[in-house]
Amino acid sequence: MCYVANQIEIDMPTLSPNLELNKCPHCRIDNPNLVEKNRLETRDHKGSRKRIWSTYSCVRCGGVVTASSNSVGGEVLEHYPENPSVDESLPNKAKAFLKQAFDTVHAPAGCIMLCASSVDAMLKEKGYSDGSLYSRIKQASVDHLITEEMKIWADQIRLDANDQRHADENAGLPEEKDAQRTLEFTVALGEYLFVLPNKVTRGIHRAGE
C-alpha cells in the first residue's frame, strides 16, 4: 500500500469512554465521536504483558476501532485500524491529491475526482500527458508501464465521478463504496509505479554499501 504507518495524533489519546482521534480511520471525518462499546484485559502466554483493550464505534459511520493501554484512562499505545499517511515516494502533486482523497472518502464524488487527479499526476510524471485519462492508462498498458490486469481494473472502477465514459444520462451518483474502490486502485497504482521501484533502488543501494 502507498499509505504507511499511522499519523501522529496532536494529543495522545487515552483509554477513556470516548477515544479522541483527529480522524475516524474509516470515514475520515474530523474529530470523530468514537464511543466505547466494550473493554477487556489480555496477557501473553506467560501471564505478563498486561494490556487493557477497548472497542469503539464511530457514531457517524459505525466503523469499529480497537485501542489498548497499560491501564484504564492511560495513554493509548496502539489503535487499529491506523490512520493512513501517503508514501513520500509519490510525486508531490499525486501525493497531495491522494492525501485529500483519503480525507474525503465520505464525499464520494469529491474523493473520486481527487483520485483521478492523483492518477493523472502519476501518468504525467511518467510522460503520459495527451488524451483522456483512460486512453493514457490504456497506452501505459500497451507500453508495459503497467500490467494488462491494472488496465482492466481501471476499466472496472469509476475514475470519473460523473460517469461520462458510459454516456448514460441515468447513471447514478457515486457511492462511498465506489470511492473506496477508486481509492484502492489509486493506492495500488502509486505503489506499482513509484513506491516499489523506490524500495528496490534503496535495497540495491544498501546492498552495494
> Which pTM was predicted?
0.71
Q: What's the pLDDT score for residue 146? A: 96
β-pairing, 64-69 vs 51-58, is: antiparallel
In this prediction, residue 168 has a pLDDT band, given cuts at 50, 70 and 90, of low
Domain ranges of the chain: 18-80, 92-200
What CATH number does the domain located at 92-200 have?
1.20.120
**Cβ count within 10 A of residue 182:** 28
In this prediction, residue 162 has a pLDDT band, given cuts at 50, 70 and 90, of low
In this prediction, residue 5 has a pLDDT band, given cuts at 50, 70 and 90, of very low
- Strand segments (E) across the chain: 18-19, 34-42, 51-58, 64-69, 78-80
**Cβ count within 10 A of residue 159:** 22
What CA dihedral angle connects 118, 120, 126 and 130, to 10 degrees? -170
16-71 residue pLDDT tens: 999 999 889 888 888 999 999 999 999 999 989 999 999 999 999 999 999 999 99
C-alpha cell at 100: 485529500
133-148 residue pLDDT tens: 999 999 999 999 999 9
59-107 residue pLDDT tens: 999 999 999 999 999 999 999 998 877 889 999 999 999 999 988 888 8
